[in-house]
Amino acid sequence: MSLESGFVDANVLIYSVNEDAPQHSSARALLASATYGSTTLSVNSQILCEFYSVVTNRRRVLSPRSSQEAIQALSEFARVFRVLPTSPQSFDILADLLRRRPVTGSDIFDLQIVAAMIANGIHRIYNFNAADFQPFSELEVIVP
């Protein structure tokens, strides 16, 4: 898989450890490309926390991971991806996005990802649920 630099959403990480998911092989291929290729793929702490939250929650997955297993996966991701810091501009960008595209409930978390991406000059996201980010014309959504 040939990759261009971009941001990786939590669902890619979740599918990469879920061997029963139909998206597993594509997610693993993305990780392999990031590991062995010259492309820089990024995540932030929110993405890593979303991954941990889902894979350790028996209400969200059939076979939840133990805390130790989830931490081990996080360590692997931190070696593969550039972990972006939260920039001071992220909140201002988030507030502007909220004024332009008001959201409710948990949709705020996708908007927070968009703000982090914009603050870091990233306009491409790798995500298996492209509909989450389609309203943002400033982003290119890539389904691995």
Domain boundaries, the chain: 1-144
Q: Are 110 and 130 in contact (CB under 8 A)?
A: no
Cβ contact 7:113 at 8 Å: yes
pLDDT of 92 = 96
- What is the structure's pLDDT at 110? 93
* Residue at 20: amino acid letter: D
Token code pair at residue 124: 């491409």
pTM greater than 0.95 = no
DSSP 87: P
pLDDT attached to residue 115: 95
Structure tokens at 16: 């990469």
The answer to whether the CB of 55 falls within 8 A of the CB of 64 is: yes
Q: What is the pLDDT along the chain (144 residues), one digit of tens a residue?
A: 567 899 999 999 999 999 999 999 999 999 998 888 778 899 999 999 999 999 999 999 989 999 999 999 999 999 999 999 988 999 999 999 999 989 999 999 999 999 999 999 999 999 999 888 888 877 899 998
CATH architecture of the domain with residue range 1-144: 3-Layer(aba) Sandwich (3.40)
Instruction: Give the position of tokens 């968009």.
Output: 114
